[in-house]
Structure 1
Amino acid sequence: MLNDLSAETSKYFMKAPPANILEFAISDRVILVEGPSEYMLFEKFYETVTNHKPETDGVNIIDVRGLSFKRYLELSKLIGEKTAVVTDNDHDYKRHCVDKYSDYAQTNNIKIFFSQDNKQNTFEVVLYNNNRNLCNELFGNAALEYMLKNKTESAYQLLLSEKEIIVPEYIRRAIEWIKE
């Protein structure tokens, strides 16, 4: 079955860190995220939405460090693993989220989640717009600018905060879908 992977995807996995591939391969359900900022906050989001940890539901969260979602989706399509992708729309959700992943749209075990508001172009913008007061309190009057320039540090500070973080709607939908 794995012989059915494209040559490019096979080559990608030959060079990729083995831990992510192994974690992906042995999982029943996976949420793929773009980077470390999303990864850091995702367990907290999951707990907020479901009231328990992802591992309790057999869900693994994997940071694909960039935009290599298609490589994982190709594998997911072959093995039938339930996979949610949480991604930025980069100012054009139709092009970057709908058209880009159209090969997987009819696959029951794969679903792409993103903001459908092109002004909400990246995780930090969405996070800020959902949590303005908290972000301004933590990062000052130029909170959004700070968050965009210091993505992992701002995610880490939000993670350490005792205050509730409002989970963005598309992330909430991803968590609810993967848990079904």
Structure 2
Amino acid sequence: MPDKKTTARAARDKREGKSASTQAGEFVREEIDHIREGKHGARSAKQAIAIGLSKARRAGVKAPVAKTASKATKKKAAQDTAASKKRTAGTATKKSATRKRASTKALKREGTAAASKKALSTQARKSAAKRTSASKSAAAKKAAHTKGAAGRKTAAKKAARTRARKAS
């Protein structure tokens, strides 16, 4: 069950018109924090992200599944989305205490290295390397468009300072 603060942050992101991945990012951040606090572990950064995404979908975030995702991943995402619909309808089935205990126990056996800066950095680099230049360009254009005039001015000044610092 996600923290109230996390759900509130995701709701704020939604109100601000931010993307589903930004909303889901709040749940992923919470999961990383849990691992760092020692509440439980994870085998890899990828698993930690997957748990966060699952929680986000169950909380009602409309996070899409990657086209290249496996059948099992697509199935799990569909289950999570269905669970969120059940929850909003008020007919959610009670979770099995035995299953909850078993999954928590399994996660507690895992290490905490999955949430280290190095592991997350490696995961981010691998993920970014798979992106096409067209997708990166589209994201940059969207960012520039949604930033607004004041934001663009600030970013331009920062870029100029960086260039000046690198030149000297």
Structure 1 and Structure 2 fold alike (TM over 0.5): no
TM-score, length-scaled by structure 1: 0.28
By percentage of residues, which structure has more helix?
A: 2
Q: Which of these two proteins has the greater Rg computed from alpha carbons?
A: 2
TM-score, length-scaled by structure 2: 0.29
